[in-house]
């Protein structure tokens, strides 16, 4: 749908809704491997109060999708939808939505591991507060790589709560979240050491890392804080000086505090205002997004993202 004035967009959305009562979506009716995911026809969702419907143009494929499919978050006996990231345009407004118009280009985070429909679908309904204007300097597919990874990395860096100039280690620094954490930590004034694969040194230094440590080796000295995107746990905590900060990305998976180290488990949240600030950085050329590969929605069940994925895959519809 092209960008139009709101009145024209609303008429288009009404016509589209009338003509299309079902849509394609990726779902699973039980736990298991990629073979459990299928593309089915389901009713097009309608937005409730405070919500909008987005015509999905691209959606990220993340490791969390594989965890949902495997039953890590529960949901036995329920239909499971997939996809957290979305980039597209608003197709319909629910009641009590202000500040948005039909045809606005947006990105957003569709939070929640157990849900009947996600963003791996032709349409998705999100809370209006979860949306941000889409970046204008990257294409729609690239924009879809931002919400989950970007918000996760940004919150992790914020939770370090260290002074500028502090030494910060980012594990998994070449990954989708890790690469963004490197950029945001460097921008926050931290001296970043990147822990990644031996072949990733050029990449992570280009993202802002001052120092590089190949996977399997350790930094020369203690660091003030760690953003543990690789989920190393105890071995990463051991690298933090007494009284430093350790930020883990998976709830209930962080090591126990020791030596006065502050251990924080961050959990991402849908936050349109925060996402909008990250979009501003993308458009200013201060935050680089990466896409590993793209594929049509019909092939969404096939890829199996790894926690070591260097960039996000994206499905387009």
pLDDT in tens, 19-75: 479 999 999 988 888 888 999 999 999 999 999 999 999 999 888 888 888 788 887
For residues 219-228, average pLDDT: 94
Do residues 132 and 276 make contact, with C-beta atoms less than 8 angstroms apart? yes
Tokens linked to 279: 């979009």
Do residues 159 and 119 make contact, with C-beta atoms less than 8 angstroms apart? no
Q: What is the pLDDT of residues 298-311, one digit of tens each?
A: 876 555 554 445 54
Tokens linked to 213: 């440590």
The b/e string for 282-300 (b: 16+ C-beta within 10 A; e otherwise) is beeeebebbbeebeebeeb
Residue 252's pLDDT band (boundaries 50, 70, 90)?
confident
Q: What is the DSSP string of 111-154?
A: --SS-S--SSBSEEEEEGGGEEEPPSSS-HHHHTTSHHHHHHHH
Percentage helix, strand, coil for the chain under 3-state DSSP, each rounded to 5: 25, 30, 45
Q: In the chain, how long is the greatest CA-to-CA distance?
A: 64
The percent of residues in the chain predicted with pLDDT above 90, rounded, is 71
The b/e string for 70-79 (b: 16+ C-beta within 10 A; e otherwise) is eeeeebeeeb
Do residues 90 and 54 make contact, with C-beta atoms less than 8 angstroms apart? yes
**For the whole model, what pTM was predicted?**
0.88
């Amino acid at each position: 749908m092209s960008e139009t004035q709101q009145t024209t967009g609303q008429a288009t959305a009404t016509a589209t809704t009338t003509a299309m009562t079902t849509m394609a979506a990726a779902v699973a009716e039980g736990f298991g491997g990629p073979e459990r995911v299928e593309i089915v026809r389901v009713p097009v969702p309608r937005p409730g109060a405070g919500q909008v419907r987005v015509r999905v143009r691209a959606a990220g494929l993340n490791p969390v999708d594989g965890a949902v499919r495997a039953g890590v978050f529960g949901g036995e006996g329920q239909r499971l939808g997939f996809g957290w990231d979305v980039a597209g345009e608003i197709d319909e407004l629910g009641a009590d939505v202000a500040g948005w118009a039909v045809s606005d280009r947006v990105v957003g985070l569709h939070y929640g591991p157990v849900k009947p429909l996600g963003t791996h679908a032709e349409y998705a309904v999100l809370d209006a507060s979860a949306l941000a204007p889409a970046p204008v300097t990257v294409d729609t597919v690239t924009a879809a790589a931002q919400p989950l990874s970007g918000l996760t990395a940004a919150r992790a860096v914020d939770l370090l709560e260290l002074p500028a100039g502090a030494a910060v280690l980012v594990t998994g620094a070449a990954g989708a979240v890790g690469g963004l954490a490197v950029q945001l930590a460097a921008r926050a004034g931290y001296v970043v050491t990147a822990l990644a694969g031996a072949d990733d040194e050029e990449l992570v230094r280009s993202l802002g890392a001052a120092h590089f440590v190949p996977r399997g080796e350790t930094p020369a000295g203690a660091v003030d804080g760690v953003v543990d995107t690789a989920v190393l746990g105890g071995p990463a905590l051991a690298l933090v000086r007494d009284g430093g900060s350790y930020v883990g990305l998976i709830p209930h998976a962080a090591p126990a505090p020791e030596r006065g180290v502050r251990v924080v488990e961050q959990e991402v949240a849908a936050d349109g205002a925060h996402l909008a600030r990250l979009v501003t950085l993308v458009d200013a050329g201060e935050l680089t997004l990466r896409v590993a590969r793209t594929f049509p929605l019909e092939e969404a069940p096939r890829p199996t993202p790894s926690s070591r994925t260097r960039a996000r895959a994206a499905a387009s519809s």
